[in-house]
């Protein structure tokens, strides 16, 4: 593998990882809330949170561009106030990964929290521990494997992100170009063998991610069954 | 002193109680599904009542009027749910120490010794038996130094053998630590052996209360047991033994003579006997050539019908309730005042205390 290729794989993994880490806190909170609330509007919230999974990624990218573009209110504010450019930089790659992976994370996290008997944290509080302590010592550990599985699933999705990324981050080699964008570019300029090599490499990365995720989910389920 | 005044709407009826409990050990008694657990959970702070007020020794715990609710973690009420609810991801030691509060009278070694769970400390809850789980849950609640213990059917989920092992621990906790206790039970025998006072609940309302012996041997508590297995409770005295026949003769306070399975006991000892309403046969004429030892005459005092079943109260010196089918009442043409004979096999009568 050439250093260029290595750098490309590294960059792609880094961006996907950063995207997942960015969504993790919000994903966990929203997943927990969806698992616990009885508020009738929860299905609306759930639908909105699922939208990026169903919409064409290009639409997601377009919406992000509308929000974070240099000439858009938020984009301009971030640039003028913090000297921060989002669109067509690596930050946009992270952002696109995060938004597109978010629904997968939220749905898995919700299922993980739903698998925790709500009476366990309730009982923990009667033992004299406050809600934050209880969350970190009971709810979160019991849902941890499920959350990890969700994060890996989200990571896999982010790894192959294409549509939203190309809209909001462009396809700039060495700056915003990930593996999937590179494959697209290689094919369009006729370097098919290189494209195939890269494609094979992404199969390997995706395979490992999915396999790991499935294993974790299975272990988590087996443990819950054994413990209940 | 615990003062509880609560209203909680449930799916089929409303739980509505107003109680001052002097304790130290109070039982909430009644068949399943009448709101006992709900009441316990509301006191623990796991469930918000529609309205009401809870005080313990005068301190306000909850008041809908003042929009005040002490969060569960500050109530210091130790809850032991029916299914123990141990934290599955923690070993027994970590479970016990989860709510441990220093400075109280109870320490891990002393509680572990009293409840005989010292050898289980490194185990996961999934590797414990039912009785062990109950004891660990009880110890966990005790170590949080509660000022009130809330026990939900502490021994009901256990079979008889396990029950005989766990019950002594609950008694020991009651006697050693003198923590006021509110416990839920649908078993008259458990109530008799543990409680100082019993409150009988039916469909969300208090229908009777008093000392366990007076309440449980008194017909008022009965209405509540129509659906479930209803047990006649007979306060009796040992009259004599016939070991070669395998019998012990007793007499109830009102003079009903009974033969029960042989059991060593000094003459004159008071025993409480249980007899399930469904184990009593009823005949209109004196039966002949029967193997059953206990046949007594009486007359029907009341017939209450509900669903397909009837509870027939027979005055045979003591009041004995007989559970019959609707059809049996019809075909025998039973009516109040009718003289009848009751037939009870020796082995249908068992000792409760």
Mean predicted confidence (pLDDT) in B302-307: 79
Which range marks the domain in which residue B298 is found?
231-351
Q: Chain-centre distance of CA A78, in angstroms?
A: 23
Cβ–Cβ contacts within 10 Å for residue B336, how many?
11
Contact criterion met (CB < 8 Å) for B73 and A123: no
Is the domain of B183 the same as that of B245? no
Residue A20: how many CA atoms within 13 Å on its side-chain side?
A: 22
Chain B hits for A132, Cβ within 8 Å: none
Provide the number of structural domains found in chain A. Answer: 1
Lowest mean pLDDT among A131-140, A160-169, B65-74: A160-169
Backbone angles phi, psi at B61, to 5 degrees: -105, -40
Name the one residue in this structure whose structure tokens are 């090599």.
A197
Contact criterion met (CB < 8 Å) for B46 and A117: no
Please indicate, yes or no, if residue B334 is contained in any of the structural domains: yes
CA dihedral of residues B211, B216, B221, B222 (deg, nearest 10)? 180
**Two structure tokens written together for B62:** 């909850």
Inter-CA distances, B239 with A214, B235, B267, B319, Å: 71, 13, 6, 20
Is the domain of B50 the same as that of B149? yes
Percentage of the residues of chain B whose pLDDT score is greater than 90: 16
Q: What CATH number has the domain bearing residue A91?
A: 1.10.3720.10
Chain A hits for B87, Cβ within 8 Å: 120, 124, 138
Q: What is the mean pLDDT of chain A?
A: 86
Q: Are B25 and B196 in contact (CB under 8 A)?
A: yes
pLDDT tier for residue B105 given thresholds of 50, 70 and 90: confident
Contact criterion met (CB < 8 Å) for B99 and A129: yes
pLDDT tens figures, A40-64? 888 899 888 888 888 998 998 888 8
> Which DSSP category does B305 fall into?
E
Chain B hits for A124, Cβ within 8 Å: 87, 98-99
pLDDT at res. A31: 93
pLDDT tier for residue B304 given thresholds of 50, 70 and 90: confident
Best of B98, B100, B149 to substitute, by most chain A Cβ atoms within 10 angstroms, is B98
Please indicate, yes or no, if residue B315 is contained in any of the structural domains: yes
Adjacency order of strands within the sheet including B14-21:
B14-21, B2-9, B51-56, B59-63, B68-69
**Two structure tokens written together for A204:** 């390997």
Percentage of the residues of chain A whose pLDDT score is greater than 90: 32
**CA-closest candidate to residue B29, choices B152, B131, B141, B138:** B152
Please indicate, yes or no, if residue A128 is contained in any of the structural domains: yes
Distance from CA of B125 to the nearest CA of A (A): 7
pLDDT at res. B157: 62
Last residue of a domain, one of B185, B219, B253: B219
User: Above 60 in pLDDT, residue A34?
Assistant: yes
Chain B hits for A125, Cβ within 8 Å: 45, 71-73
Q: What CATH number has the domain bearing residue B92?
A: 3.40.50.300
Please indicate, yes or no, if residue A59 is contained in any of the structural domains: yes
Best mean pLDDT range from A198-212, B75-89, B267-281: B75-89
- At A45 the three-state DSSP class reads helix
Residues 6+ apart with CB under 8 A from A133: none
Distance from CA of A124 to the nearest CA of B (A): 8
Is the domain of B207 the same as that of B276? no
Please indicate, yes or no, if residue A61 is contained in any of the structural domains: yes
pLDDT tens figures, A106-163? 999 999 999 999 899 999 999 999 999 999 999 999 998 888 888 888 888 888 888 8
How many angstroms separate the CA atoms of A125 and B127, rounded?
Answer: 25
- At A132 the three-state DSSP class reads helix
pLDDT at res. A220: 67
Please indicate, yes or no, if residue B226 is contained in any of the structural domains: no
Contact criterion met (CB < 8 Å) for A128 and B73: yes
pLDDT at res. A153: 85
Is the domain of B76 the same as that of B214? yes
Name the H helices within B86-207. 92-97, 108-114, 130-143, 160-177, 188-194
Last residue of a domain, one of B191, B219, B247: B219
Q: Which residue has the higher pLDDT, B202 or B151?
A: B151
pLDDT tier for residue B210 given thresholds of 50, 70 and 90: confident
Is the domain of B129 the same as that of B275? no
Cβ–Cβ contacts within 10 Å for residue A51, how many?
14
How many angstroms separate the CA atoms of A96 and A101, rounded?
Answer: 8
Contact criterion met (CB < 8 Å) for B101 and A123: no
User: Above 80 in pLDDT, residue B59?
Assistant: yes
Q: Which residue has the higher pLDDT, B56 or B253?
A: B56
pLDDT at res. A107: 92
User: Who among A120, A125, A138 is closest to B72 (CB)?
Assistant: A125
pLDDT tens figures, B11-28? 888 888 888 888 788 988
Is the domain of B85 the same as that of B48? yes
Is the domain of B158 the same as that of B110? yes
Is the domain of B58 the same as that of B165? yes
Best mean pLDDT range from A163-177, A180-194, B99-113, B315-329: A180-194
pLDDT tier for residue B158 given thresholds of 50, 70 and 90: low
Is the domain of B183 the same as that of B253? no
Mean predicted confidence (pLDDT) in A194-212: 85
CA dihedral of residues B222, B226, B227, B232 (deg, nearest 10)? 60
How many angstroms separate the CA atoms of A39 and A27, rounded?
Answer: 18
Provide the number of structural domains found in chain B. Answer: 2
Please indicate, yes or no, if residue B141 is contained in any of the structural domains: yes
User: Above 70 in pLDDT, residue B217?
Assistant: no
Residues of B with CB under 8 A from a CB of A: 44-46, 71-79, 81, 85, 87-89, 98-99, 101, 124-126, 140-141, 144
User: Above 80 in pLDDT, residue B352?
Assistant: no
Q: Which residue has the higher pLDDT, B97 or B160?
A: B97
Chain A hits for B46, Cβ within 8 Å: 119, 122-123, 126
Which range marks the domain in which residue A167 is found?
3-223
Q: Are A69 and A62 in contact (CB under 8 A)?
A: no
pLDDT tens figures, B180-194? 889 898 777 778 778
pLDDT tier for residue A1 given thresholds of 50, 70 and 90: low
Residue A136: how many CA atoms within 13 Å on its side-chain side?
A: 4
How many angstroms separate the CA atoms of A95 and A92, rounded?
Answer: 5
Q: Which residue has the higher pLDDT, B71 or A173?
A: B71
Chain A hits for B81, Cβ within 8 Å: 119, 123
pLDDT tier for residue B88 given thresholds of 50, 70 and 90: very high
Mean predicted confidence (pLDDT) in B155-167: 67
Please indicate, yes or no, if residue B225 is contained in any of the structural domains: no
Chain B hits for A221, Cβ within 8 Å: none
Residue A130: closest CA among chain B residues belongs to which residue? B73
Residue A227: closest CA among chain B residues belongs to which residue? B126
pLDDT at res. B224: 47
Is the domain of B248 the same as that of B302? yes
User: Above 50 in pLDDT, residue A13?
Assistant: yes
Please indicate, yes or no, if residue B191 is contained in any of the structural domains: yes
**CA-closest candidate to residue A15, choices A144, A145, A180, A148:** A180
Q: Are A24 and A155 in contact (CB under 8 A)?
A: no
- Indicate the pairing of strand B14-21 with strand B59-63: unpaired
Mean predicted confidence (pLDDT) in B26-33: 83
pLDDT at res. B226: 47
Give A68-129 as a DSSP string.
HSTTSHHHHHHHHHH----TTSHHHHHHHHHHHHHHHHHHHHHHHHHTS-THHHHHHHHTT-
Percentage of the residues of chain B whose pLDDT score is greater than 70: 93
Q: Is the ipTM of this complex over 0.85?
A: no
State yes or no: cis peptide before A107, omega within 30 of 0: no
Q: What CATH number has the domain bearing residue B265?
A: 2.40.50.100
Residue A135: how many CA atoms within 13 Å on its side-chain side?
A: 8
pLDDT tier for residue A87 given thresholds of 50, 70 and 90: confident
How many angstroms separate the CA atoms of A177 and A198, rounded?
Answer: 13
Last residue of a domain, one of B219, B242, B273: B219
Is the domain of B289 the same as that of B193? no
Residues A134-144 as b/e (b if ≥16 CB within 10 A, e otherwise) read bbebbbbebbe
**Two structure tokens written together for B87:** 């934290």
pTM: 0.74
User: Above 50 in pLDDT, residue B46?
Assistant: yes
How many angstroms separate the CA atoms of B36 and B52, rounded?
Answer: 16
Please indicate, yes or no, if residue A73 is contained in any of the structural domains: yes
Contact criterion met (CB < 8 Å) for A130 and B71: yes
**CA-closest candidate to residue B135, choices B184, B173, B189, B192:** B173
User: Which residues are paired to A122 by β-bridges?
Assistant: none
How many angstroms separate the CA atoms of A157 and A210, rounded?
Answer: 10
pLDDT at res. B317: 85
pLDDT at res. B120: 92
Please indicate, yes or no, if residue A170 is contained in any of the structural domains: yes
Q: Are A23 and A98 in contact (CB under 8 A)?
A: yes
Please indicate, yes or no, if residue B16 is contained in any of the structural domains: yes
Residue B323: how many CA atoms within 13 Å on its side-chain side?
A: 19
How many angstroms separate the CA atoms of B125 and B37, rounded?
Answer: 23
Please indicate, yes or no, if residue B224 is contained in any of the structural domains: no
Give A177-193 as a DSSP string.
--HHHHHHHHHHTT-HH
How many angstroms separate the CA atoms of B188 and B155, rounded?
Answer: 12
Please indicate, yes or no, if residue A196 is contained in any of the structural domains: yes
Q: Left (φ > 0), alpha (ψ -120 to 50) or beta: where does A105 sit?
A: alpha
Please indicate, yes or no, if residue A228 is contained in any of the structural domains: no
Contact criterion met (CB < 8 Å) for B45 and A228: no
**Two structure tokens written together for B121:** 């400390």
Is the domain of B176 the same as that of B214? yes
How many angstroms separate the CA atoms of B251 and B273, rounded?
Answer: 11
How many angstroms separate the CA atoms of B107 and B89, rounded?
Answer: 23
């Amino acid at each position: 593998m050439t250093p260029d290729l290595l750098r490309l794989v590294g960059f792609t993994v880094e961006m996907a990882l950063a995207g997942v880490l960015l969504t993790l806190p919000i994903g966990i909170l929203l997943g927990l809330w969806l698992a616990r609330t009885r508020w009738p509007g929860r299905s609306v919230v759930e639908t909105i949170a699922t939208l990026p999974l169903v919409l064409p990624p290009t639409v997601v990218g377009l919406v992000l561009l509308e929000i974070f573009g240099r000439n858009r209110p938020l984009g301009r504010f971030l640039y003028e106030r913090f000297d921060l450019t989002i669109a067509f930089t690596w930050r946009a790659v992270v952002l696109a990964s995060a938004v597109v992976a978010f629904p997968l994370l939220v749905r898995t996290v919700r299922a993980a929290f739903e698998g925790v008997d709500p009476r366990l944290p309730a009982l923990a509080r009667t033992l004299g521990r406050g809600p934050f302590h209880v969350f970190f010592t009971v709810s979160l550990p019991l849902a941890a494997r499920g959350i990890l599985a969700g994060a890996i699933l989200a990571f896999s999705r982010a790894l192959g992100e294409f549509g939203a990324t190309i809209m909001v981050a462009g396809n700039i080699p060495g700056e915003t170009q990930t593996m999937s964008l590179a494959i697209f570019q290689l094919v369009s300029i006729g370097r098919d063998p290189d494209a195939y090599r890269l494609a094979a490499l992404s199969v390997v990365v995706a395979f490992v991610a999915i396999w790991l995720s499935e294993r974790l989910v299975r272990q988590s389920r087996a443990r819950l069954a054994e413990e209940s | 002193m615990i003062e509880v005044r609560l209203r909680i709407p449930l799916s089929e009826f409303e739980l509505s109680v107003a109680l001052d409990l002097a304790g130290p050990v109070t039982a909430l008694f009644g068949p399943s599904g009448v709101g006992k657990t709900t009441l316990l959970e509301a006191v623990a702070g796991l469930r918000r009542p529609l309205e009401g007020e809870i005080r313990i020794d005068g301190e306000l715990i909850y008041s809908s009027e003042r929009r005040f609710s002490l969060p569960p973690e500050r109530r210091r009420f130790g809850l032991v749910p029916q299914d123990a609810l141990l934290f599955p991801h923690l070993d027994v030691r970590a479970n016990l120490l989860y709510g441990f509060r220093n400075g109280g009278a109870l320490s891990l070694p002393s509680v572990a010794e009293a409840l005989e769970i010292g050898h289980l400390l490194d185990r996961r809850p999934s590797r414990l038996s039912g009785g062990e789980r109950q004891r660990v849950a009880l110890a966990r609640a005790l170590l949080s130094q509660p000022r009130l213990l809330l026990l939900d059917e502490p021994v009901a989920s256990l079979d008889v053998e396990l029950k005989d092992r766990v019950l002594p621990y609950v008694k020991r906790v009651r006697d050693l630590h003198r923590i006021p206790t509110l416990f839920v039970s649908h078993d008259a025998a458990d109530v008799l052996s543990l409680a100082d006072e019993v409150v009988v609940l039916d469909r969300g309302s208090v229908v009777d209360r008093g000392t366990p012996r007076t309440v449980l041997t008194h017909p008022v508590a009965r209405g509540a047991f129509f659906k479930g297995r209803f047990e006649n409770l007979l306060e009796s005295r040992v009259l004599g033994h016939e070991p070669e026949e395998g019998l012990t003769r007793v007499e109830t306070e009102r003079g009903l003579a009974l033969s029960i399975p042989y059991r060593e006991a000094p003459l004159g000892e008071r025993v409480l006997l249980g007899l399930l309403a469904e184990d009593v046969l009823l005949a209109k004429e004196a039966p002949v050539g029967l193997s059953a030892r206990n046949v007594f005459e009486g007359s029907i005092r009341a017939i209450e019908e509900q669903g397909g079943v009837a509870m027939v109260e027979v005055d045979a010196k003591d009041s004995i309730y007989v559970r019959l089918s609707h059809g049996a009442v019809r075909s025998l043409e039973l009516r109040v005042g009718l003289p009848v004979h009751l037939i009870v096999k020796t082995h249908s009568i068992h000792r409760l205390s």
